[in-house]
């Protein structure tokens, strides 16, 4: 099974790769009947720290959704980092910009 992070509506979302197709993890979870805290499905990192049997069920559901035509081509999405850090998952980049500004005001200037 391959996991991916892709951009969806200005946010990074986890997806399951089936061949050259991607299936949104939340759609696969719904198909597999996996319920619980949505944070456990929010990132690839959360998926990797979850239960192994849930991953297997997600993979099976992703294969079913792909067969039913409910997936997107890998070539049609913008991939993100495999396991994004919190600063990188900000769609606007404001966290990174504010960190740079704070660092610039604290560091001595070289002349």
Residue 111 lies in a domain: no
pLDDT at residue 86 in the model: 66
Taking the C-alpha atoms of residue 7 and residue 23, their distance in angstroms, rounded to an integer, is 13
Residue 42 has pLDDT above 90, yes or no: no
| Residues 31, 22, 55, 62, Cα dihedral to 10° | 30
pLDDT at 5 over 70: yes
Mean pLDDT over the full length of the chain: 80
Q: How far is it, in rounded angstroms, from Cα 21 to Cα 63? A: 10
Residue 105: the pLDDT is: 46
Answer yes or no: is pLDDT of 96 > 80.
no
- Domain count of the fold of the chain: 1
CATH number at residue 44: 2.30.30
Q: What is the per-residue pLDDT for 88? A: 46
Q: Which residues fall within 8 angstroms of residue 81, CB to CB, at 6 or more apart?
A: 5, 88
Q: Is residue 8 part of a domain?
A: yes
Closest by alpha carbon to 87, among 95, 79, 97? 95
Range of the structural domain that residue 10 is part of: 2-106
């Amino acid at each position: 099974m391959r996991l991916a992070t892709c951009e969806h509506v200005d946010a990074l979302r986890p997806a399951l790769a089936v061949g050259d197709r991607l299936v949104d993890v939340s759609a696969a979870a719904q198909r597999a009947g996996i319920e619980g805290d949505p944070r456990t499905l929010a990132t690839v990192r959360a998926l990797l720290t979850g239960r192994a049997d849930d991953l297997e069920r997600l993979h099976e559901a992703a294969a079913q959704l792909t067969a039913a035509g409910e997936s997107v081509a890998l070539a049609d999405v913008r991939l993100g980092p495999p396991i994004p850090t919190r600063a990188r998952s900000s769609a606007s980049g404001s966290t990174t910009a504010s960190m740079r500004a704070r660092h610039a005001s604290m560091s001595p200037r070289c002349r």
